[in-house]
Amino acid sequence: MINRIRDIRKSKGITLAELAEACSPPTTPQTIGRLETGMRSLSLKWMERIAAALEVEPEILVRSEEAPTPMVVASLRAAGPEALAKPREAILPSELGSEGALTVLSVEESVGEFRPGDLIWLRQLAPDAAGQAINRDLLVPRAGGRFAFGRLIDRQGTLIGVLPPGSGQKQQVVDNPPWIAVAEMLVRKL
């Protein structure tokens, strides 16, 4: 089992000290750090205390090593999506279906209908399944570790035509991508 305390804490913007103080009874940041890194065993009692402080279910704090991990792979900016230097684990807000790997695009700047802080959850499909994604938002890998994001408006053979969400943007055409990821859920903090 893999401990996900650090990923969940960081996704909520909470420091070690804040999480330690939120535990009931409060503990030290060093103890939380040791639990996160595996230097100290994560007992059921600790799972319950930390889960309550993070306001999540205790079972979300651990995951199986065999389970695929959704990753944030790119961030969306006004100029288009940019690959992250280091992909990071995305914390799934609720259980989704298991068909196809999950990928997450984080929005850093307002683009079209998307706002900073939004997380766009996408499900990967084989490129030959693009027909079922017409007129839906998707993320497509491009050469050189880049991405195209927008509405799928055309598919001809191995060519995928994507219209970016910003106004005045031109269609981007990607030839023979290894996968496409169709937007399945938008997570927007209120």
Q: List pLDDT tens digits, range 85-94.
A: 888 877 665 4
Answer yes or no: is pLDDT of 83 > 70: yes
Which CA distances in Å does 79 have to 82, 136, 163, 164, 167?
9, 20, 13, 9, 11
- DSSP class of residue 145 equals G
Number of other CB atoms surrounding residue 90 within 10 Å: 21
Decide: 162 and 140 in contact? Cβ < 8 Å.
yes
126/180 Cα distance (integer angstroms): 6
Q: What fold characterizes domain 2-63?
A: 434 Repressor (Amino-terminal Domain) (1.10.260)
- Identify which of 18-22, 35-39, 61-65, 181-185 has the greatest average pLDDT: 18-22
How buried is 97 (Cβ within 10 angstroms: 0-12 exposed, 13-18 middle, 19+ buried)? exposed
106/119 Cα distance (integer angstroms): 5
Answer yes or no: is pLDDT of 150 > 90: yes
Answer yes or no: is pLDDT of 165 > 80: yes
Residue extents of the structural domains in the chain: 2-63, 71-187
Query: 6-32 pLDDT, tens per residue?
Result: 888 887 889 999 999 999 999 999 999
Instruction: Estimate to the nearest angstrom the gap between the alpha carbon of 54 and the chain centroid.
Output: 18
Coil, strand or helix at 133: helix
* CATH number of the 71-187 domain: 2.10.109.10
Domains 2-63 and 71-187 share a fold: no
Q: For the chain, how big is the Rg over CA atoms in Å?
A: 19
The percent of residues in the chain predicted with pLDDT above 70, rounded, is 91
DSSP per position, 93-129: SS----SS-EEEEEE-S-BTTB-TT-EEEEEEE-GGG
Number of other CB atoms surrounding residue 16 within 10 Å: 17
Answer yes or no: is pLDDT of 97 > 60: no
* Dihedral sign for Cα atoms in the order 35, 38, 39, 43: positive
**What would the mean pLDDT of 40-50 be, rounded to a whole number?**
91
